[in-house]
Structure 1
């Protein structure tokens, strides 16, 4: 079990730049996806039972002027793949993008493969980039006489700068009279503080709060928009984060923030252990009797009531006190989750519990 905390109760405010707290509406990434084939594999491609790679190869050869019946193709050095990329804002034709290539069939490895030209589509169905290039695989898979040696995931690869943007998403800043700043975490106090800081920095009433997540920013007549946005994003403001306890039951990790407030509480934590053990014994009949040898099941039930572990947190207890107390009683990840939920129900834990 890993328990993380800051150890000291701190103030509920901190300083952060606006660019780390919010994004500008409309200035965003866009997801791209495409389907293609990887060639040049050393017999680790899709098997003959996977038909769509052969169909893709036939269509590719036909576009290149080569007509080959699909039934006559027997290759295992190609694999059907999906290609994904992220189109950043203000990308122009010719901008290079990194791409991720993932096997869509039953290929064992994409090591040594070459991605043929693949069109990347946006959510609107239009082509925004073309991808092609040699794959970089962060692992391998070797299969000899049924013995398999594998490192990481060889069915997924990257192609650095493997895509070229053919069409950008139109976004013109010139002439815009207003922008909206969208907070990553909705909070009225942070939004109000952000608007006040922007107005103080610009010397005019340029920002006003719309709701707990949105702050509108007005552009003055003739003002340079990129310069304005750069100045606004660099402003540092006070933020008021929510008090949270993050619990990951799979890894046994518990993260407790410094804004968590603890109230006096006493906790008894224990359990009843019941063990049922069954074994079989061979029973022989008495001499000169007409009985037969039998196998009889013998069952033993052991019950052990474990002593309760006691935790006491007094007035002024910190996160460090809670962490040390949990470690002292040897609490497991499941124990910690139960204890924290019990403290939340009892009103002794003033924080939101988020289980991953």
Structure 2
């Protein structure tokens, strides 16, 4: 037995495999480097990641930070033995949040915790994190892998992520200037994203659908539809922000339309959403039917096919749609308008046809 093996033997006997950790690092090293942007000033493996942001041309740079996880959607990764997409979810939930205030993501940090480290599984997860970072043009600057025997069930893990972005203070998107007549532009979601999964998993179990069956209303399997990662809106939204003013933005996450839209509205206005002005993905039709839910209940829980909302002055709406429609990575719909608070019973009023 080598000297290094002897030194780590006690740790191994306690359930922590140091060699598995080393193998994991070997597997992800090139993947992580593929996300590096010009601001990265360090290699992987240090105690802290170094990043030097480019602030030339900025009047007053401001950092915007966000953190989130994937929630119980991870249970589907375990169930389907599919681990290469939840890392995209992890990045998406944080970078979409910092984007709401107009910030361009600079770097991302991840935390991976498990009872027994399986280098192959962990590497799949990190491959998704790297893909999410590439989609949002930010660097995976560092992370933590925690092997905690007895803390998690066999074959399971948990994830959390942390994003830091930057915006020039005069260009900070605050929602303060939102006024009656402004247009709501909805950007299509890719699916359920990363909220509401406790309910979805319950409905899936009750339905008896198997993961390799065709999902109702689609030509894809149940696993493919449900594990579809959260859409990342960074590139199309930042391009739009560079071209024209956007008064407010919403990342539609847990709490759906009713809880998320009011977070960016001034007290004197409300949002009037025209239900049916955008196409509904089959997964939401299935959830509604399987759960015997109303559309107001669905809009309180899920994104219902709209994952991100832009609020623009009507004079900029046509140009916004032209720019968004010219891209092949996003679908945009006019889903409503801003009205006075006196015209609405609540701050979000959904008008059903």
Q: TM-score, normalising length from structure 2? A: 0.22
More helix by share: 2
More strand by share: 1
Q: TM-score, normalising length from structure 1? A: 0.22
